[in-house]
């Protein structure tokens, strides 16, 4: 599938923001993150920037963005519609949290309750985003049980790293209890590794033989294409990436998204003098890794419609 | 509403005979011609006379080689919307622009509601939907809904443009929900195929497979060699042949 920049930016940036809220919903009521207004302002400001920027980027993927409001109508059947509604609801909840926490410094119970609501809606939004892909039968790399866990764990891991960043920026090194963020990063790495293991080995049940119905007559080979230049279907669904390049990019995503942040976090514990620098570096570097991972999520995905053009496609 | 309707009794669709199709692309050309001026038009063309023409077509004609050796054959394969009963291009649509009609099963796009998110094209395994970059909306085969119900036309012409134009009569239009219809009979007689049945989209359109090529053709059998047109060495032509052979 064509890796559209707008959708890659949207899923990664909104994943960071929603991941931060998912963690705050647990850590804030438990008293495990700073409850001060400065930390709240920076953390929620970052989350809102990620979510808002992501949503704006996603409208660049639309042919008629001025009609985007219509997408709130078909929640009965469409995961994209559900995602749109949940995104707006969670934005409202986060805006309320901004009001009661950094702006009004309302009583603790009020902040905690709002954080829990915002976190639950954020988790539902990330889940709905992932379900858009998971529900598409023509794309085997998406239509499997690992897609939703990947989106959720990567959102949690990158959200944790950016909470650490918000802490460092406001003078609170390690705002999240030590060890939580590295565990989240390792969990995301494990789930993504299992995703790749599963999708690399999944057998292709649909072939050019069943796509044309001609398989019973023998091997089917494309002879003449229907058109001389690429059409929309080939440009949108026909993106191909060489296996060796994909392997290299997976390693790059692993180094930037997992290894470097883990090393930086450990370095920060061992050498407290470096704590500020490592915390400020880890999140941006991991985000570059997440962008590479998300680019691969699209680039490696093959669409069944390409079977009509290339016998080897699915 | 993009939730699918309970399937109605009438299921209009196409039956395409792969044994007869000669791959002339006339159906695709007439489809483009009709629909660029019809309710779903215009069908944008970019660089139409250049090196890389790129535009919206509802119908694409592939050609395949099938089988090997004497059993090998060329099969021409028109590909368009199959108007699925379980049309996931409809259910994924967030705006209600993508719809399946209860009265005849035709899958259509209300282009005034389409936001151009392209998700319906991702949900279609048949590659039947094409995005119009110029207008910013998705396009697809309408089964010529603006022709087949046009009472100003003689009844025989109330068929999709692709069917009306096929010079080999490889394309047939009718109600596949009615077991007694001509198209349903064809499907029953010739074991008409649904494409990618394993995905569960339940397409309405059917393809009739190429007939078994029996009896052996002369290039593989033992047909007698033809007699020479002019027996050697006789008459004026024989004399001319000997003269020119020197």
CB under 8 A, 24+ apart: contacts of B226-234:
none
Question: C-alpha angle B59/B63/B65, rounded to 5°?
Answer: 155
What distance in Å separates residue B146's CA from the closest CA in chain A?
25
- The residue whose two tokens read 């293991």 is A197
Torsion from C-alpha of A180, A186, A191, A194, nearest 10 degrees: -160
Predicted pLDDT at B39? 87
Confidence of residue A124 (pLDDT cuts 50, 70, 90): very high
- Tell me: the pLDDT tens digits for B145-170? 999 999 999 999 999 999 999 999 99
Mean pLDDT score, B170-184: 97
Structure tokens at B213: 């090529």
What distance in Å separates residue A130's CA from the closest CA in chain B?
13
- Tell me: the pLDDT tens digits for B94-124? 999 999 999 999 999 999 999 999 999 999 9
Rounded Cα–Cα distance for residues A206 and A203 (Å):
9
* Domain locations in chain A as residue ranges: 5-309
What residues of chain B lie within 8 A of the CB of A64, using their CB?
114-116, 136-137
Partner-chain residue, chosen from A138, A213, A226, that has the shortest CB–CB distance to B124: A138
- Contact in structure between A18 and A123 (CB atoms under 8 Å): yes
Residues 44-103 of B with CB under 8 A from A: 51-57, 60-68, 71-75, 77, 79, 88, 90-97
Confidence of residue B215 (pLDDT cuts 50, 70, 90): low
Task: Report the 10 Å Cβ neighbour count for B3.
Answer: 12
What distance in Å separates residue B95's CA from the closest CA in chain A?
4
Distance (Å) of CA A278 to CA A169, A174, A199 = 11, 11, 34
Task: Report the 10 Å Cβ neighbour count for A231.
Answer: 21
Confidence of residue A301 (pLDDT cuts 50, 70, 90): very high
> Are the Cβ atoms of B117 and A219 closer than 8 angstroms?
no
Confidence of residue B242 (pLDDT cuts 50, 70, 90): confident
Rounded Cα–Cα distance for residues A47 and A137 (Å):
32
> Does B5 have pLDDT greater than 80?
no
Rounded Cα–Cα distance for residues A31 and A33 (Å):
6
Q: Identify each DSSP E strand in B80-181 by its residue range.
A: 98-100, 107-109, 130-132, 137-139, 171-175
- Contact in structure between B1 and B170 (CB atoms under 8 Å): no
Structure tokens at B182: 């001509």
Q: Across the strands, what pairs with B193? A: B207
Q: What would you report as the CA-atom Rg of chain B, rounded to the nearest whole angstrom?
A: 24
Chain A CB within 8 Å of residue B213 CB? no
- Contact in structure between A196 and A147 (CB atoms under 8 Å): no
Chain A interface disruption, residue of B125, B134, B140, most A CBs within 10 A: B125
Chain B interface disruption, residue of A139, A232, A307, most B CBs within 10 A: A232
- The three-class DSSP label of residue A76 is coil
- Contact in structure between B16 and B176 (CB atoms under 8 Å): no
Backbone phi and psi for residue A269, each to the nearest 5 degrees, phi listed first: -75, -40
- Helices A180-201, A260-270: crossing angle, 10 deg rounding: 160
> Are the Cβ atoms of A70 and B122 closer than 8 angstroms?
no
What residues of chain A lie within 8 A of the CB of B114, using their CB?
63-64, 67
Confidence of residue B225 (pLDDT cuts 50, 70, 90): confident
Predicted pLDDT at B223? 65
Residues 6+ apart with CB under 8 A from A116: A25, A29
> Are the Cβ atoms of A137 and B88 closer than 8 angstroms?
yes
> Does B76 have pLDDT greater than 90?
yes
- The three-class DSSP label of residue B216 is coil
Rounded Cα–Cα distance for residues B131 and B133 (Å):
6
Mean pLDDT score, B173-192: 97
Per-residue DSSP letter, B208: E
Tell me the pLDDT of chain A averaged across its residues: 95
User: What is A5-309's CATH topology?
Assistant: Formate dehydrogenase/DMSO reductase fold (1.20.1630)
Rounded Cα–Cα distance for residues B246 and B237 (Å):
14
Torsion from C-alpha of B176, B180, B184, B186, nearest 10 degrees: -160
Q: Identify each DSSP E strand in chain B by its residue range.
A: 12-17, 45-46, 54-55, 60-66, 73-79, 98-100, 107-109, 130-132, 137-139, 171-175, 206-208
Predicted pLDDT at B227? 73
């Amino acid at each position: 599938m064509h890796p559209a920049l707008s959708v890659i930016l949207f899923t990664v940036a909104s994943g960071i923001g929603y991941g931060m809220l998912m963690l705050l919903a647990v850590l804030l009521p438990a008293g495990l993150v700073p409850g001060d207004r400065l930390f709240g302002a920076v953390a929620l400001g970052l989350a809102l920037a990620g979510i808002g920027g992501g949503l704006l980027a996603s409208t660049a993927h639309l042919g008629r963005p001025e009609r985007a409001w219509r997408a709130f109508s078909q929640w009965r059947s469409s995961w994209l519609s559900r995602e749109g509604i949940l995104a707006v609801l969670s934005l409202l909840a986060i805006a309320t949290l901004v009001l009661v926490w950094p702006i009004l410094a309302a009583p603790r119970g009020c902040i905690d309750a709002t954080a829990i609501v915002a976190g639950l809606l954020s988790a539902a939004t990330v889940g709905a985003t992932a379900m858009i892909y998971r529900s598409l039968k023509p794309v085997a790399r998406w239509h499997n049980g690992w897609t939703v866990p990947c989106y959720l764990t990567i959102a949690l891991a990158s959200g944790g790293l950016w909470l650490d960043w918000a802490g460092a920026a406001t003078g609170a090194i390690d705002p999240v209890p030590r060890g939580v963020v590295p565990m989240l990063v390792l969990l995301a790495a494990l789930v993504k590794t299992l995703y790749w293991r599963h999708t690399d080995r999944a057998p292709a049940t649909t072939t050019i033989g069943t796509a044309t119905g001609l398989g019973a007559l023998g091997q089917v080979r494309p002879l003449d294409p229907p058109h001389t230049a690429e059409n929309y279907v080939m440009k949108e669904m026909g993106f191909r990436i060489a296996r060796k390049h994909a392997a290299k990019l997976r390693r790059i995503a692993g180094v930037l998204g997992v290894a470097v942040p883990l090393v930086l976090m450990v370095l920060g514990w061992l050498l407290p003098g470096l704590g500020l620098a490592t915390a400020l570096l880890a999140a941006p570097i991991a985000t570059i890794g997440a962008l590479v991972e998300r680019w691969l999520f699209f680039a490696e995905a093959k669409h069944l419609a390409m079977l009509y053009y290339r016998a080897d496609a699915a | 509403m993009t939730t699918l309707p309970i399937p109605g009794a009438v299921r209009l669709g196409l039956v395409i005979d792969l044994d007869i199709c000669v791959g002339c692309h006339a159906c695709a050309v007439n489809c483009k011609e009709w629909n660029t001026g019809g309710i779903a038009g215009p069908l944008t063309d970019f660089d139409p006379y250049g090196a890389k023409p790129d535009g919206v077509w509802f119908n694409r004609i592939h050609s395949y080689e099938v089988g090997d050796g004497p059993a090998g054959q060329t099969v021409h394969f028109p590909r368009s919307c199959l108007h699925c009963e379980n049309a996931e291009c409809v259910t994924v649509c967030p705006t209600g622009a993508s719809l399946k009609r209860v009265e005849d099963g035709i899958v259509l796009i209300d282009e005034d509601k389409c936001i151009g998110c392209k998700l319906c094209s991702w949900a279609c395994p048949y590659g039947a939907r094409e995005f119009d970059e110029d207008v910013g909306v998705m396009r697809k085969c309408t089964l010529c809904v603006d022709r087949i119900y046009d009472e100003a036309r003689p009844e025989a012409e109330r068929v999709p443009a692709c069917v009306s134009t096929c010079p080999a009569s490889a394309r047939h239009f009718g109600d596949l929900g009615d077991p007694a219809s001509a198209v349903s009979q064809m499907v029953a007689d010739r074991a008409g195929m649904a494409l990618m049945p394993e995905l569960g989209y339940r397409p309405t359109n059917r393809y009739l497979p190429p007939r078994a090529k029996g009896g052996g053709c002369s290039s593989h059998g033992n047909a007698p060699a033809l007699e020479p047109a002019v027996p050697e060495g006789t008459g004026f032509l024989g004399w001319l042949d000997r003269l020119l052979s020197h």
